[in-house]
Amino acid sequence: MSDVRRPPVLLTIGDPNGVGPEIALKAAIALCADPEFRPLVIGERYIVEPLAKQAGFSLQTNPQKWGTSDKSVDLYPVDFFPRNAYVPGTVCAPAGQATVNYVETAIALMKDGTGRGIVGCPHSETAVNASGRVFSGYPNLLSELLGTGPDSIFLMLVGGGLRIVHVTLHEGINTALKRLTPELIERAVVTAEKGLRELGIEKPRIGLFGINPHASENGLFGEEDRLVVMPAVENLLKRGLDVVGPEGADTMLVREGFDAFVAMYHDQGHIPVKLLGGREVAAVSIGGGALFSSVGHGAAFDIAGQNTADPGAVLRAIKLVGGAR
């Protein structure tokens, strides 16, 4: 293998008591002979090493030798998670804190030029919140750690032939609907357009879902789309973006020619992507200046430690981030 390569994708193990360590190692092993996408894993050596040995691989922790052997996994070793808390399948506050610490480490490595993007393995919102941090997913955590402010980073799910960006995410439907404004929708679409360009789409065409059924059908089902979504669309068109909408999500999704869609709330975007993409869905956090992706599934505590988890979503996320400009 060549000693010269682009900075690697940084791969954090997520909740250490979930399937994150296992799928991180499986993905790293699958890509260890690929100089373009070979990742640098961030996690505790005592967790990662037994998984590597079980597969017949060693660990490489010397930065000078990263990327030089196709029988080793590159590791940036850390010491955030106490050994007595490492019980695969359990939810605990120390695991939530470690999940955050891994991402903080990856951001620091990005800033010093060690990485070109970050992939985070699945987290547990319960565990992170138990650690004392208010947490509703990786996008909000990234905006806090990067200091970019609220509503600066948005989630895009990729899978099943779809890309769907979410204006609101992990919050009650009443709260989400009250927070929807033309300004927030416009910000989400502008961020989506920039993110799509970073992923190699030169002139993105973006469709906006309506809030109400049939995008309110000319006021028959409410005025929210006219008052909230349409002003955003008008401003986006003035800015030169190629946007269409609002339209009913059910009818817009079956139309061809869109590079991405924008959903107004969590289930409106998650259901179609996960229905079509299954376990290989990747979750990309766009905005804030750092390209970050995760998986579309959870920490799967029920199968943690059993060596049965599928790394397909992690591999997809690595290639999304690694292939970006």
226-273 pLDDT, tens digit per residue, is 999 999 999 999 999 999 999 999 999 999 999 999 999 999 999 999
15, HSE (Cβ side, Cα atoms, 13 Å): 32
38, HSE (Cβ side, Cα atoms, 13 Å): 23
| Mean pLDDT of all residues in 43-61 | 96
The per-residue pLDDT of the chain, averaged, comes to 92
Residue 285 tokens read as: 């956090």
pLDDT confidence of residue 282: 84
CA distance 147 to 287: 12
DSSP 8-state assignment for residue 40: E
Q: Which of 201, 251, 248, 242 is nearest to 229 (CA)?
A: 248
pLDDT confidence of residue 56: 94
| Mean pLDDT of all residues in 92-96 | 97
Cβ(245)–Cβ(210) below 8 Å = yes
CA distance 60 to 75: 6
pLDDT confidence of residue 325: 61
pLDDT confidence of residue 134: 85
pLDDT confidence of residue 186: 98
Of 16-30, 98-112, 289-303, the one with minimum mean pLDDT is: 289-303
| Mean pLDDT of all residues in 84-94 | 97
pTM score over 0.75:
yes
pLDDT higher than 50, residue 3: no
What is the Rg, in whole angstroms, of the alpha carbon atoms belonging to the chain?
20
pLDDT higher than 90, residue 13: yes
In a 3-state reduction of DSSP, which class is residue 30?
helix
Task: Assess whether the previous peptide bond of 246 is cis (omega < 30° from 0).
Answer: yes
Q: Which residue ranges form the domains of the chain, and what is each CATH number? A: 1-153+287-325 (3.40.718.10), 154-285 (3.40.718.10)
pLDDT higher than 90, residue 31: yes
155-197 pLDDT, tens digit per residue, is 999 989 999 999 998 889 999 999 999 999 999 999 999 999 9
| Mean pLDDT of all residues in 46-68 | 94
Q: Residue 315 burial (CB < 10 Å; 0-12/13-18/19+)?
A: buried
Cβ(206)–Cβ(193) below 8 Å = yes
